[in-house]
Each structure stands twice: as C-alpha cells, then as structure tokens.
Amino acid sequence: MDVLASFRLDGRVAFVSGGGGAIGSAIAVALGSAGARVAVADIDQAHAEAAAEKVRTAGAECLALSGDITRESEAQRIVDAIVERYGHLDIVVNAVGGGAGKVLFDAQEYPRDAWDWIMELNLRSTLIATQAAVREMVKAGKGGRVINISSVRATLGINAGYSAYVAAKGAISSLTRQWATEWAKHGITVNAIAPTFVDTPQVAMLLGDPAFKAGLVNRVPLGRVGETDDLVGAVVFFASASSSFVTGQILGIDGGLTATQ
Ligand SMILES: NC(=O)c1ccc[n+]([C@@H]2O[C@H](COP(=O)([O-])OP(=O)(O)OC[C@H]3O[C@@H](n4cnc5c(N)ncnc54)[C@H](O)[C@@H]3O)[C@@H](O)[C@H]2O)c1
C-alpha cells in the first residue's frame, strides 16, 4: 500500500459550504492541494471568489458559488451547479457557522431571536448542505465523505454566554454519529473536527481581550490557540481513502484542552 497516495484526492470533487470563510477557505485550499477539484459556496460572493482564487493559485480547479445554505432551494441549486460542472460530488465540508461571540447572554435570559440565529447559522446550514450533497451521493451510488465542524464547545461548557452555540455544536456532534450510522450502507463516511478557539476574525474580539486569552491559553497543554492550518490535515484525512474505516468520529483539535477535563 502506498500510504501517502491514500491521502491524495485526485479525481474527487469537494464542496466546501462556507468556503469563503477563514476556516472554510483554508480547507478548500488544502483539498485542492491534495488533488481535489473544489467548489466553494458562500452567502458572501466576494468571499467565495477570493477563496476560489486562492485554491486556483494552489494549482487546483475551483468553482465559486454564492447562496444562502440555510435554504433548501439554494443548497440544491449549488449542488446541481457542482454536478453540472464536474460531473459528480464526493466530499462535502460544512464550514458555515460561528457567531457565538456576537450574541453572548446569560443562560436564563438567552433570547429567542439570538437562539434561532445561532441554530440556523450552525445547525441548519450543516443539515441543509449535507442533505443536498448526500442525496446526490446516494443517487450516484459511489459513496462519499461528509465532514462537519463541531467545536470543543460540544462537550465543554464555557462561562461566557454561549448557550445556543454549545447546543448547536452538541447537535452537530450527535448528527455526525447518527448520519455515520445511517449512511454507512451507502459507503458514505461522516466525521467531524472539534477545534478550540482558532485565530480567525470570528473570535478576534474575544482573543483581543488579554485576560480572556491568557485564561484560555493557560488551560491548553500545548500553550496556544489554534491556527486555520492546524485543522486542514485532519480534514484531508477524513476526505481521503486513508480514513476508509473511520466514521462517526469527532476529532478534537484543541492543543490537548479536552484531555485535561
Ligand atoms: N474560529 C474559531 O475559533 C472556531 C472554533 C471552533 C469551531 N469553529 C467553527 O468553524 C466554522 C467556520 O468558522 P470561521 O471562523 O471560519 O467563520 P467565518 O465567519 O470566517 O466563516 C463562515 C463563512 O460562512 C458564510 N456564511 C454565513 N452564513 C451563511 C449562509 N447562510 N449560507 C452560506 N454561507 C454562509 C460566511 O459568509 C463566512 O464566509 C464554524 O462552524 C465555527 O463555529 C470556529
């Protein structure tokens, strides 16, 4: 067995939902570098175009698409456009999400509109993009890969007004196991990464607070927050033949944070 070749994605087509974002665009570049043809889809067209340009610079084909992934019709349109362009779809990565730092409320007062927004952004986006992609994979009958982005917040509470986000990420981890169980018969594996704080614009305000950052970093055995490049190797692993017998797993990428709890 050529172990390095088993990590290659030549001939595969990858759809990165939220691929215009900080983490999504790093993942899109990594999948392209590993040989996949990539489609990035984002509600922000300029972000999608910029990410696609980075993937092309890395030497891969990339399609930039825009749309609201929380809407079934738009997710379907995006998947149809990918299949029309590339002929098939093998990998979906769900990188729409976040928002927690913008709606911090005490748990007993957590407002319904903020709750619904976080659920839509994180959980519904993951559900809708995955359903559209997996319907296509099941129809084609050649298996596939679903990769979700959960968070250490799926398992660890945080004393900072995060009720809706922890609930959404907990649900994403549960769905990862549920989908893995249901879709194994179609040759589709489903796994997730669960990062701690990653240095991105989403969390810039929180990480910009020296007391918050010091408290966080002090609890991380490897002594720092994550970088987007810390995440991409695991995604390529889950996307590739090297993880053929791995499904329903949630891989902490957290510098050892959850190992201490
Ligand atoms: N940044 C972190 O510290 C961190 C840590 C753990 C997990 N995560 C998770 O990683 C994922 C990506 O986070 P990020 O930091 O890259 O965020 P980001 O905001 O940079 O990226 C999210 C992207 O999704 C797009 N988007 C938002 N709503 C959309 C919609 N309805 N349809 C289509 N696109 C939409 C945005 O335009 C953006 O480009 C999220 O699920 C987040 O919860 C982030």
Tell me, what's the pLDDT at 160?
85
Tell me, what's the pLDDT at 1?
86
pLDDT in tens, 225-236: 999 999 999 999
Q: CB under 6 Å to ligand 1: residues?
A: 18, 20-24, 42-44, 47, 68-70, 95-98, 121-122, 125, 149, 151, 195, 197-198, 200-203
pLDDT at 195 over 90: yes
The closest-lying atom of ligand 1 relative to the alpha carbon of residue 165 is 43
Locate 150 and state its tokens: 């959960």
pLDDT in tens, 51-86: 999 999 999 999 999 999 999 999 999 999 999 999
Most informative mutation of 78, 96, 172, 225 for ligand 1 (most atoms within 8 A of CB): 96
Q: What is the mean pLDDT of residues 96-105?
A: 94
Prediction pTM value: 0.98
To the nearest whole number, what is the mean pLDDT of the chain? 97
Whether residue 165 lies in the annotated active site: yes
Tell me, what's the pLDDT at 206?
85
The closest-lying atom of ligand 1 relative to the alpha carbon of residue 42 is 34
pLDDT in tens, 154-163: 999 998 899 9
pLDDT class for 254, splitting at 50, 70, 90?
Answer: very high
Tell me, what's the pLDDT at 65?
98
CATH classification code of 5-198+230-251:
3.40.50.720
